[in-house]
Amino acid sequence: MNSYLPKATHVAVREGKILGVGNLDQLSGWGEHSLNTRFADKVLMPGFVEGHCHAPEGQIWDHTYLGYFERYDPEGNLHPKLENMDNVLERLRHVDENMDDDDAPLFAWGFDPIYYNSERMTVKDLDSVSKTRCIIIMHTSGHLLNVNSLVLERAGIDSSTDVHGIFKDEEGKPTGELISMATHYIIQKVAGMPFFNSMDSRGLWRFSAIARRAGVTTATDLAASFDRDTLAAYREVTSKKEFPLRIVPAMRIQEMPIQEGIEKIKELVQSNSEKLHFGLCKIIADGSIQGYTARLKWPGYFKSSHEGAWYVPPETLIKMIDAYHSESIQLHIHTNGDEATEVTIGAIESALSNKPHSDHRHTLQHCQMAEEAHFRRMAKLGICANLFANHIFYWGDQHLEQTMGPDRAVRMDAAATAKRNGVNFSIHSDAPVTPLGPLFTAWCAANRQTASGRILGEHEKISVEDALRAITIGAAYTLKLDHLLGSIESGKFADFAVLEENPYEIPQEYLKDVKVWGTIHSGIPYPAE
């Protein structure tokens, strides 16, 4: 990814940084050296940069996984997939029966009813597991919850409760399905909420183990809780020489007064270090497409009357963007639906008219349903995109058949259109929503193959070269860290993904199968196992 020297045989490292790149004779000019031939039969790429993931991937595995796809946990254990609703409930009953504390809540995650012909989980389903234990299930998107009747009762939620985000049946009774953002605090008071809250040191070390196996040397924690415990954990682990990951947290700002958020992020930036980089702020504008909570323009969802949900009302979103932009604070804004994208682009355009800034790099995260007109505006305004390429594999079939329909589904995560219009873009996993694995993400963008084997959007495929750029220098650019990482270039950190074969020399359909030996971080090797 070094445009001056795309390929080389040797790299010189001093004090954790890249001294030079070239061949042995050229680099010997730097003086006394030792030659490490350990990686002579491998390929070094810039350490992969995951521009949208969440550090709770490292501790969410303390709770029960209910996913439709098999997954590996931080220790490398394989968790089987659950193919139908009966399997899900059977798994929950097994966990309930084997819990030592009869009063402890049962937390589970990774569930998504869209794979089960949109059969919704109900209070009755979870009450069949237990009526005496609080049960809270987080959907894989992180935007919806299911709870049993005990949780509803203790939360005081019934037919008369008039709170946005509480789903009700035809008789007006709560179904037990909740929009997590709207009802988060209600449930928190009842049973606690372990998802996407405080991080601890153990969770961050486990997160780094997952990253190392995937070749990731820099990762975001995008939508972090900046509470005292999490900040202490960040500082503790990143102060360790042997911690093999740079962390770029983004502060969730919609939960705090605007001026308080501005003052807090400015203060935190002062404590940045080589492995901990504060500065990003995160806004979640809408929900998820597969959860029918993303905000869509007309004609809306393909086979549903859902309107989607604003997690931040447009008038508040406009105010927040203008305030943070005026202080030159970079924003990463979650916009899944095309309406959310359009409103956000308009808000950034307005903020730029109030305070021009040629290198703001505000980034639309996911940006899944953006139209070509949106990408043209984004390029003109200097807005970046971080596209959720993994969605094509994991939910592409469902988007074609259920949520978007065959014509709009082919434009999802339109990396080729972003490139054609000159938008700086990256691609991501949103772990733990999907597994952390940049080579798989690059494979998704280059091949656009769904889980059933369909090709979803032939004309939106990008080259292997462009896909690999998106998980290295492209992602670094969206984080305003491309001067420090993302390419093997003199002066940057000596962070490398160590691969067993050359991804440029294999058919692009095998890109996801390239084995990762591990990483080199600040010049120190970290094997995957």
Helices and strands, number each (H, E), in the chain: 17, 22
pLDDT, position 182: 67
Which residues 6+ apart lie within 8 Å of 345 measured at CB? 364, 374, 377, 378, 381, 383
Confidence band (pLDDT; 50, 70, 90) for 449? Answer: very high
What confidence score (pLDDT) does residue 446 get?
Answer: 98
pLDDT on residue 164: 81
Q: Which residues lie below 8 Å from residue 303, measured CB to CB, with a gap of 6+? A: 402, 403, 405
High-pLDDT (> 90) share of the chain, % = 91
Res. 285: pLDDT tops 90: yes
Q: Is the pLDDT of residue 213 over 70?
A: yes
Residue 211 structure tokens = 């990253």
Interhelix angle 372-381/338-354, nearest 10 degrees: 20
User: pLDDT-derived band of residue 305, with 50, 70 and 90 as boundaries?
Assistant: confident
Is the pLDDT at 302 greater than 70, yes or no? yes
CA distance 425 to 415: 8
Residue range 446-453: mean pLDDT, rounded: 98
Q: Per-residue pLDDT for 183 more than 90? A: no
DSSP class of residue 92 equals H
234 with 199: CB under 8 angstroms? Answer: yes
Give residue limits of the domains in the chain.
50-55+199-521, 60-191
Rounded Cα distance, 86 and 445, in Å: 33
- In degrees and rounded to multiples of 5, residue 149 shows phi and psi of -65, -30
CB atoms under 10 Å from CB of 274, counted, come to 12
Q: Where are the alpha helices (DSSP H) in 276-432?
A: 314-326, 338-354, 372-381, 390-398, 406-409, 415-420
Mean pLDDT of 6-33: 96
Edge-to-edge strand order for the sheet containing 166-168? Answer: 64-65, 106-111, 135-139, 144-147, 174-179, 166-168
pLDDT, one tens digit per residue, over 357-415 is: 999 999 999 999 999 999 999 999 999 999 999 999 999 999 999 999 999 999 999 99
- How many residues belong to the chain? 529
Which CATH number describes the domain made up of 50-55+199-521? 3.20.20.140
- Range of weakest confidence among 302-311, 334-343, 361-370: 302-311
Could you tell me what percent of the chain has a pLDDT over 70? 99
pLDDT of the residue at 402: 95
Pick the range with the lowest mean pLDDT from 223-232, 314-323, 420-429: 223-232
The per-residue pLDDT for 117 is: 82
Give me 277's structure tokens: 């980089």
Position 297 pLDDT exceeds 70: yes
The pTM of the full predicted model, rounded to 2 decimals, is: 0.95
What does pLDDT average to over the chain? Answer: 95
Q: How far apart are CA 285 and CA 282, in angstroms?
A: 10
Give residue-wise pLDDT tens across range 91-133.
999 999 999 998 999 999 999 999 998 789 999 999 999 999 9
Is it true that domain 60-191 has CATH number 2.40.50.140?
no
